[in-house]
Amino acid sequence: MKTIRFTREDLDLFSSASHDRNPLHLSDDYAYRTPYGERVVFGVLDGLTALGSAADRPACGLSSVEFEFFDTALLGVNYSVEATESDLPESTVRVLDGRRPVLEAVLSFRAGTPRQSWQAAEWQPTLSEPEDLSSAQLMAGQRVRGSYAPSLRHLEIFCSQAQLKQTWLTHPHVAALMWASYLVGMELPGKRALFSRLRIEFQDSPRTVAPFDYEAEITEISDLGELTIHAILRSGGMAWATAKIGAHVRDDLPQVTMASVESLVGRSQVLAGKVALVTGASRGLGAAMVRVLALHGATVVLNFMCSQDQAEQLRDSLAQTAGKIILERGDAGSLEWCKDGAKRIAAQFARLDFLLCNASPTLLPLWLEASAAERVNSFVQRSLAMVSAPMMVFLPMLAAGNGWNVLVSSSAVTQPHSHFPHYVVGKSAAEALVRAASTEYRSVSSLIIRPTRLLTDLTNTPFGRRGSLPPECVAASLLKRLLGPPCPGKVEVLDRFSPLTDDSR
């Protein structure tokens, strides 16, 4: 069984060949703010690379190719490729992460040696940046038209590196697949796209000229926002391929404003003079907790690791509150950073009243199997470090002022999710650490928060958004508890949260 592994250089080469410049694959900053947390592999790149494992059929031509994307391939992961051949005019190629399916390609063939010739010229795309269309800007019947050709030089390099040597897989076939990546990633829907499926049927055309013309139309939009796109590819006025494409649209999260948060928690100075440290606080639930604390007068040390712009925007948006925001960039899982941060907090404020451990590694699905062992163990270790390091360093400061030790956990601890054993273990271990710490630091009040799936950047997919809880609801419930009586030497669990009302949206 063949193994494939993708690098940043592979992404750059495919982008140069296909002209697909979607930032999910090319921009570290953009990808970090998505559920993947890092640049991911182009779906068509994954599929084409897998096709290199399919057997040659010298007496056959390619009739159709179908890709179904079950998951997104990541950089630096070894994927196995399983090719199934039969006497029937069909082959199946699967990309697997252990037992977990990532992609399936189904190839259909017709009898006869391929007759396609390829006459191509260099072509420059009209788009240098992808369209940024939300679901509200897309509708059934919407069409795009244009011309397309891959970069000929980069196409040759790509086919050589991917070992696409089969006689049935000609340059027009590869160009059509690259066109599909360009269409979805750059035009329809563009920047917000998540490729879900693709089928291209090829005519037995003796000659294909590139650039070729295409016309694509959205024929359906599902309740989950998946587009169904039908397209025709023409060369010299004659149709030589038809395509049916599925792609989801990642919409923006609902905007959280100071007014919407204030409508939930109000505004006061009841926490004036109090100091809080929130880890992982530039976005999502961390940012929501910063907002509610600042609205009631607390000085909040806002820890973040990568999202400088978001952290600064959050700080500036709270300038008119009674609280104060101090930015602290660093790795919450680093004992050295925590020690240095403790010195700065002690020197400036001489106290710490609230420690809110919210930072967590990027969460992606894994199965509990040997092929994922290194990633599972690494996630658990990293997840626990983001709680243990701050607690080890800051608990003495909390104890001196009878403060609160707050852990953001998850309902997955009591209701485990399939595909996320590493997350369940990491949160369970963190909760155990809080319970152990409560026996050692008897003057500290401990609170474990167990929300269900939250509506944040990390869950902002068509399926992840369904039934997700707005983070400001959790932050509002947290504030209410912190303003109540302390529970020194005890651990409380907060797992009930009031939904947003229409007035607070």
Confidence label for 499 from pLDDT (cuts 50, 70 and 90): low
Name the domain boundary from 249, 274, 308: 249
pTM: 0.88
Edge-first strand listing for the sheet containing 193-202: 2-4, 79-85, 90-97, 100-111, 60-69, 193-202, 238-249, 226-235, 212-221, 143-148
- 65 located within any domain: yes
Residues 190 and 154 grouped into a single domain:
yes
Residues 372 and 486 grouped into a single domain:
yes
Q: Please tell me the total count of domains within the chain.
A: 2
Mean per-residue pLDDT, 300-328: 93
pLDDT of 468 above 90? no
Element holding 62 (H helix, E strand):
strand 60-69
Residues 387 and 448 grouped into a single domain:
yes
pLDDT of 87 above 80? no
Q: Token digits for 350? A: 């001489």
Residues 411 and 430 grouped into a single domain:
yes
CATH number of domain containing 209: 3.10.129.10
Edge-first strand listing for the sheet containing 445-449: 324-329, 299-304, 275-278, 354-357, 404-408, 445-449, 491-494
CB 225 within 8 A of CB 462: yes
Q: Tell me: the pLDDT tens digits for 21-60?
A: 999 999 999 998 888 989 999 999 999 999 999 988 888 8
Question: What percent of the chain lies above the pLDDT cut of 70?
Answer: 97
Domain containing residue 434? 258-504
pLDDT of 501 above 60? no
Question: What percent of the chain lies above the pLDDT cut of 90?
Answer: 76
Name the domain boundary from 249, 267, 282: 249
Residues 272 and 237 grouped into a single domain:
no
Residues 408 and 382 grouped into a single domain:
yes
Of 316, 283, 304, the C-alpha closest to 294 is: 316
Q: Token digits for 286? A: 């961390």
CATH number of domain containing 469: 3.40.50.720
Please classify residue 103 by burial: count the beta carbons closer than 10 Å to its beta carbon, then call 0-12 exposed, 13-18 middle and 19+ buried.
buried
Residues 6+ apart with CB under 8 A from 156: none
Q: Which amino acid is at 291?
A: R
Name the domain boundary from 228, 249, 270: 249
Q: Token digits for 18? A: 């296909």
Residues 364 and 489 grouped into a single domain:
yes
Residues 144 and 292 grouped into a single domain:
no
Mean per-residue pLDDT, 414-432: 94
